Structure 1
């Protein structure tokens, strides 16, 4: 691994992202209420013998509980409270009570299907739920020291290792995530069986196991082995979760061949299958990636969970390689494709994140953006996924290696690694000045500051700085200044993207902008942009929680992430030119 993540509490952030985290913190107790109302917790009570009744909701209902538990753990590490600890321990005890004596755990299968296990792995999500439980357990022990959920996770992982493998049942789950989770568990337990099972599940996929159930393999990332794949395909969340797990595996095993394959896949995805917002997945049909350059705007699916999975994959690639392009991708996904999935209040969510919302659009389903953001969904994977991502956001800010510290994302706050301590001052993403002060260091330390690929004309210490990481030697008391130009720029899509030919997107800094009806008398569907018109930016603290607005001629544009906070009005990112 080229870079190493920092420890719990080593990064503290303020400013833009801290505002989003505070809103998220207020939503976490509400998430507990939603899980109660939707029946997720009741399923566990029935499985535990604490209540009677039938299972409610989808077969993967347990996974929403686990993602929420992970959010509680990260939030406790950020802002400890007795209330969070009480909620965590209550729900963890319920999960433990529902576990079978041999380690198996999936409340819906235990109740609805009378414990008929692993009979429909393409759709049962049994390993998927197990993976999210493991991730929650790892977060919980790291953030709070409690081992109760870890005990459940180890018992479940050992059950899986006794059941599946080369010389046992040869099969995989229809929805990856267990691969990533088992590597994370191995890093806590040191048990080689957990790493070996992660390797097995990763390598077994792509050999037609889903076809044995009568299923078409592409949807399940089961058409091509991960080492041979050259792109991502099928269900977007499944694909990026699998790739993130494979990246973890490559790092642990020192497997350069696997890592090279993942590089190829990531590059092809970002070049041909990623929206300008960082959104992933262009088809409502099966929540899937489309063909190369198949990127419609109004029918973009761009599931919030896919952006989260994309960040998880990119982070693992960044740690494994030290390549700034992965940090650039994280920035694009976080500020745009992910953040659009949650309201400014932090309590309502988009499942689907289109780049255009037409006038008189009809809300034809529970997940339709025409409803506006919603408090919960019939398939509620996205809300607790948002919660855990925002609560643990500090983990994506910085890293270290033997030579020093790397700053990947910019936010005001502090970074500590051993005897080295930094203070970061910035108004990012509205202002491009980043001041890094070395508060303590045992001697000269190497600071690596990321210059985003979009930041043409950037300087570090007054000297020109190209894209990538600029390495600066600094000692205690030194201040390093990074200046990122924040001029408004227009982006033209690849000519093969038929849906936006003749259009441009407007960007400023890390943010993608959109035209929203609330700011225009002319219908947004009919707007055009004059490329010769002056482009002016102005910070508006009174608007949408405080945003920098861009005007271009008669157009007024707001950050894409903030759309639909004034109602689900017409909106578009790609604007036809005059």
Structure 2
């Protein structure tokens, strides 16, 4: 966090809104609904029925503490430090003497501890507590929150270690959190416990459920699974934990299994925006190519979790294609999920909104989670704290240092100052209007002497990209381009990425959008949006005319093609196309910002 700083542009603006507005907005809602008050209630010796919120509400408080910790690391704001310390004191006062930390179980009038591993979320919540402590320690040094986390982790190891309770949590999360805590503290038993949880999962030890054991990622052992399946967030969190364990233990077989699972799901179970999850009922992946646009679930939390996993795979393998996964998710699903004001968000991210949904008032809580407009809060509000912690820590996803130099994975205005593996200093300043424009300028700001490398990612869509070094211009192919030399301070590289809008066709096995086409421009998925001025369902795109750039969007040639109303919705013809007209498409991340709207990503062809 102290090596990369976002300085302006698309992501710095969103990061600033997150720090200035979203963190307080989320915490205010948690105070209002009594989720933070649960800790005070428990510390005073009370339990049910005074406790408020769902059984997993503790985790949302922990995620906001994590987000505030990353934000404090970014800004060093004194008021944030004070808030974190106050929340830490509240959490610590509610912790049991043996380290157990959960406000919904184990006290008077409450179910016994670990009496409902499938649905209780006790270990899940503990995992988010550990991650909050890791963030606080990495940005502010060891302190009370780390001690709380260590007591909680010690309790988990004592309770679920060898010879203890043999179960696993219905919602994976504890696995990656234990590894992160092991990295911070050097405690081997935390890593061992994470590996033990992974080894136990997949043997149907949790109770049978109408959604099947895949809902809990408990149907097949992690090493034997061929793809990501079941509840999308659970599956992605578990896979992230598996990568962490594999990396720390040198387990190439485990790493290879997760790579194969993710690659399969990315190729066959992922929406164009990068969203994962096709089924509303169980928030799950569908079968291969089951990707309906109008029923896309694509939960925001699943988008955050997919970034967590792709980033780990990038670090573990060095393969730049995983940085492209992160880019697709960031610029489409994540950018769409949060409102401009930082006070409203999507829980799910559909690719087709048939009817404009009414906005939820700023003081209103939405009970349902599927479709509709951004809302200030949901009864299940896991997504907003997840967005907050991702945005606050976003600088750490921009680049990496290795033995030979610096690699840029995401393009945004930033400053980087890092130490290479051999101890030499290297620094860069990046300036760009990406993703609206495709020029990325990289200036060397520090160099330790001797040759080193700057590696730039050329996205798969960027055929025709050009790299400019000094007076030399040369075409570069999609993949990675490496410039290795003895750099001087002030020297510049310029990557020019073509931003022509392009048609994208779906795999014909995706029945739900067969005969449709989408338009992309650079990393952005575009969509058609209407506040009532256009009947989007009547439009047919003429793919014989290439899309034309129009600002950060595109113009496509269309015809309307709805038949006359009739008494039976089937017949011997599809209706005659109307006269040609131009339709402006906008970036998907901007939809529903003007007000309640209809929207389509996939458009039928003429």
- Asked if these proteins are the same fold (TM beyond 0.5), I'd say yes
Q: Secondary structure at the match of 1:286?
A: coil
Whole-angstrom distance in 2 between the partners of 1:294 and 1:363: 29
Question: Is 2:25 aligned against 1:30?
Answer: yes
**What runs of 5+ residues in structure 2 fail to find an aligned partner?**
361-365, 420-424, 558-581
How far apart are residue 113 of structure 1 and its match?
5.2
In structure 2, how many angstroms separate the alpha carbons of the residues matched to 1:352 and 1:416? 37
User: Structure 2 vs 1, CA of residues 50 and 204 (structure 1 numbering), >3 Å: closer, same or farther?
Assistant: closer
Please give the secondary structure, in 1, of the residue aligned with 2:430.
strand
Q: Does 2:134 match 1:138?
A: yes
1:486-526, Cα deviation, whole Å (9 max, x unpaired)? 110111111110010011111001110110003x7321122
Q: Which moved more, 1:496-505 or 1:363-372?
A: 363-372
Greater CA drift, 84-93 or 110-119:
110-119
1:424 aligns with 2:430: yes
Counterpart selection for 1:197 from 193, 199, 204: 193
Q: CA deviation at 1:568?
A: 2.5
Which residue of the partner structure matches residue 505 of structure 2? Answer: 492
Shift in CA distance, 222/506, structure 1 to aligned 2, threshold 3 Å: same
**Which residue in the other structure is 1:305 paired with?**
301
Provide the residue aligned with 1:69 in structure 2: 65
Alpha-carbon distance between aligned partners in 2 of 1:206 and 1:363, rounded to the nearest angstrom: 42
The structure 1 residue matched to 2:466, chosen from 432, 443, 459, is 459
Tell me which residue corresponds to 1:103: 99
User: Which of 528, 543, 554 lines up with 1:531 in the alignment?
Assistant: 543
- 3-state secondary structure, aligned to 2:177: helix
Which structure features the higher share of helix residues?
A: 1
Task: Summarize deviations over 1:105-147 as a string: whole Å, max 9, x none.
Answer: 1012245753610011010000100010100100011112251
What residue in structure 1 maps to residue 593 of structure 2?
565
Distance 2:548 2:45 in 1: 62
Report the alpha carbon displacement of residue 15 of structure 1 after superposing the two structures with TM: 0.7
Q: Could you say which residue in structure 2 is the equivalent of 1:283?
A: 279
What does residue 470 of structure 1 align with?
481
Higher relative contact order (CA 8 A, sep 6+): 1
Following superposition, the deviation at residue 360 of structure 1 comes to 5.8
Bigger Cα Rg: 2
Root-mean-square deviation (CA, aligned residues, Å) is 1.9
For residues 167-186 of structure 1, what are the structure 2 equivalents within 5 Å?
167-186=163-182
What is the CA distance between 1:530 and its match in structure 2?
Answer: 1.5
**Number of the residue aligned with 2:13:** 19
Which of 312, 329, 344 is the equivalent residue of 1:316? 312
Gaps of 5+ in 1: 1-6, 540-547
Query: Structure 1 length normalisation: TM-score?
Result: 0.94
What secondary structure does 2:104 align onto? helix
Deviation at 1:8, TM superposition (A): 3.2
Paired residues for 1:128-527 under 5 Å: 128-145=124-141, 147-211=143-207, 216-359=212-355, 366-368=367-369, 370-418=371-419, 419-443=425-449, 444-461=451-468, 462-474=473-485, 475-477=487-489, 478-518=491-531, 521-527=533-539
Aligned residue for 1:127? 123
Aligned CA distance change for structure 1 residues 123 and 448 (closer, same or farther; 3 Å): same
Tell me if structure 1 keeps the 8 A contact 2:357–2:596. Answer: no
Change (3 A) 1:360 1:189: closer
Q: Report the TM-score when normalising by structure 2.
A: 0.90
